[in-house]
Structure 1
Amino acid sequence: MSDHHEKGRRMSVGFVGLGNMGGRIARRLTDAGHPVLGHDPAPGSAERAGASPARNLAEIAGAADQILLSLPDSRAVEAVVLGEGGLLEHARAGQTIVDLSTTSPGSTRRIAALVAAKDARYLDAGVSGGAAAAERGTLTLMTGGDQEALDRIRPLLETFAQKIFHLGGPGTGHSAKLLNNFLNAVSLAATSEVMVAGRKAGLDPRTLLDVLNASSGANWATANRFPHIVEGDYLEGGLTSTLMTKDLVLYVDHLHDLGVPTLNAAGPLATFGLAANLGYADQISNRVVDAIGDVSGGVRVHGGTS
């Protein structure tokens, strides 16, 4: 079968977890013509993504050869896959489950082994790019697991991902995701602190950003987040402060397992913990700049003080 034909072939997809990211990814799939059977506890989630609602996980497992998961943490993934009536109980030979969540690599390896025992495949696929990239279909995927299974499902993943990296065996995709998210947290927390300080020092935020982006302090937050934030656009719909903190805790646990010191985790943990405790827990993590501004005298990097 040609690559062109394979890429255009419709695949029946099961999708569990249709929140901020999952709903957008499912919409990319349905818009591309792939029939999606969706499951999420929030009423109407499947319909908003253009998917057909499933009554339970058994229905998804029975109908779809490809099942995608987009869930908040390892506990939720384990409940969906390993719990009573879950995907493992109903797994079929040749089925592929792709976990797009950000979860513990150790948990991922355990699940992958159990799924493999049913002659099915479990791929971990950490996602980077945020809600806007999900809508555009330009996400980056960091995948771990069986290369052949990834190659088979790649045309489906290319519906919503522009770059797909294979890191190695089970758990390596989620490992790469945690390492990436740690750097994301560091750059966002540190840049937020700098931008508030710049405002208090009397610097124009736009000019300060131009300086940083032309200098050694440039990073993802200065280049891609703060040009929007200084205009009052927080890029709503992405990773919340609660989820960022969860990812940081997973990172610390992962490095402990690897025997690597975590000398730089305290700063972002404290920063996003501050944001959560000041009322920004379930808002996009970019709002961390407002949390720092709150304790700095009510500073806002767009428009002066609140």
Structure 2
Amino acid sequence: MSVGFVGLGNMGGRIARRLAGAGHRVLGHDPVPGAAERAGATPAAGLAEVARTADVILLSLPDSRAVEAVVLGDGGLLAHARAGQIVVDLSTSAPATTRRIAALLDAEGACFLDAGVSGGAAAAERGALTLMAGGDRAALDRVRPLLETFAQRIFHLGGPGAGHSAKLLNNFLNAVSLAATSEVMIAGRKAGLDPEALLEVLNASSGANWATANRFPHIVRGDYLEGGLTSALMTKDVVLYVDHLRELGVPSLNAAGPLASFGLAANLGYADQISNRVVDAIGDVAGGVRVHEKQHGEQED
């Protein structure tokens, strides 16, 4: 199968390099000059060339609006769709938008799979991402060998939109745990607790979560795991989650915390930095606290 890739940024570029490294010729399109070449892809003249050439097209875009523009815009993928073509959306998108796009492509004989991605930049480079897929199972099975070049685990959740729904639910829990753990770690610092000792206690106790187990062991040593989801994108994902729950008729009672935390980070200049920097934003308003630095008056061991 010939492969097209639209969106070769932070995650898309890493995924495209995995595909190219596995021997696939990838035709890439991105508005940033040189992005295709850096990702090991052959640059396309435009979306129309990707749509006409590729049997499978992967999208890695910032949000639903960008996906709509690429698929439904003038000269977009829908205008050139053909029977048997498969479009895989790796973006974090609104499930309602995903279902609408899937129906439009289905009418042209093409197939749209939503495949939410989890694992971050490091997992993308290792080929160890998790995919949450929605759409036709047979189409997913056709492209599974391709997806397995960058994903270690692939879950089929149901029809169109199911993958993106699962991704929003997962990202919300990620946002809650990261924001809450950041607050706790700053509070512990101001209480005079050693961050590494506090983290060891948390990971041995009922407060353990993904952030305590996988993020803060690095952050307390000054490594923010740069290259992952930014604070601006995390805020966008939480807003999508709230909208999704409204559509489902489910009360969203716990979104205020992460919205406030990542909104604070964005307004303090961390919008385009990795979301792990939310701990620094909280530390800023707590008096310039950093969990990985000795504070005034502390003695070296």
* TM-score normalised by structure 2 residue count: 0.98
1:304: Cα distance to partner? 2.9
Q: Which amino acid aligns with 1:119?
A: G
Residues 298 and 305 in structure 1, CA contact (< 8 A), matched pair in contact too: no
Look up the match of 1:236. Answer: 226
- Match runs of 1:137-156 below 5 Å: 137-156=127-146
Residues 199 and 304 in structure 1, CA contact (< 8 A), matched pair in contact too: no
2:8 to 18, 29, 39: 18
- Match runs of 1:40-59 below 5 Å: 40-59=30-49
Q: Indicate the SS of the match to 2:201.
A: helix
Residues 20 and 238 in structure 1, CA contact (< 8 A), matched pair in contact too: yes
Are 1:130 and 2:123 counterparts?
A: no
Q: Find the aligned partners of 2:245 and 2:121 in 1 and give their Cα distance.
A: 28
Q: 1:199-230, CA deviations, whole angstroms, 9 ceiling, x for partnerless residues?
A: 11111111111100000000000000000001
Q: Find the aligned partners of 2:228 and 2:108 in 1 and give their Cα distance.
A: 35
- Match runs of 1:196-215 below 5 Å: 196-215=186-205
Q: Which amino acid aligns with 1:128?
A: S
Q: Which amino acid aligns with 2:106?
A: A
Q: Indicate the SS of the match to 1:26.
A: helix
1:305: Cα distance to partner? 4.3
Q: Indicate the SS of the match to 1:162.
A: strand
1:113 to 80, 93, 103: 103
Q: 1:18-51, CA deviations, whole angstroms, 9 ceiling, x for partnerless residues?
A: 0000000000000000000000001100000110
1:108: Cα distance to partner? 0.1
Look up the match of 2:50. Answer: 60
Task: Give structure 1 stretches of 5+ with no counterpart.
Answer: 1-10
Q: Find the aligned partners of 1:171 and 1:132 in 2 and give their Cα distance.
A: 26
Q: Indicate the SS of the match to 1:125.
A: strand
Are 1:82 and 2:76 counterparts?
A: no
Task: Give structure 2 stretches of 5+ with no counterpart.
Answer: 297-301
Q: Find the aligned partners of 1:305 and 1:279 in 2 and give their Cα distance.
A: 22
- Match runs of 1:4-15 below 5 Å: 11-15=1-5
Q: Find the aligned partners of 1:196 and 1:266 in 2 and give their Cα distance.
A: 19
Look up the match of 1:221. Answer: 211
Look up the match of 2:180. Answer: 190
Q: Indicate the SS of the match to 1:304.
A: coil
CA RMSD of aligned residues (A): 0.7
Q: Indicate the SS of the match to 1:37.
A: strand
Are 1:291 and 2:278 counterparts?
A: no
Runs of 4+ in 1 over 6 A off after TM superposition: none
1:12: Cα distance to partner? 1.8
2:87 to 70, 75, 97: 97
Q: Which amino acid aligns with 2:221?
A: E
Q: 1:149-192, CA deviations, whole angstroms, 9 ceiling, x for partnerless residues?
A: 00000000000000000000000000000000000000000000
Sequence identity of aligned pairs in percent? 83
Q: Find the aligned partners of 2:81 and 2:261 in 1 and give their Cα distance.
A: 42
Q: Which amino acid aligns with 1:245?
A: T
Q: Indicate the SS of the match to 1:163.
A: strand
Q: Which amino acid aligns with 1:99?
A: D
Are 1:267 and 2:257 counterparts?
A: yes
Look up the match of 1:4. Answer: none
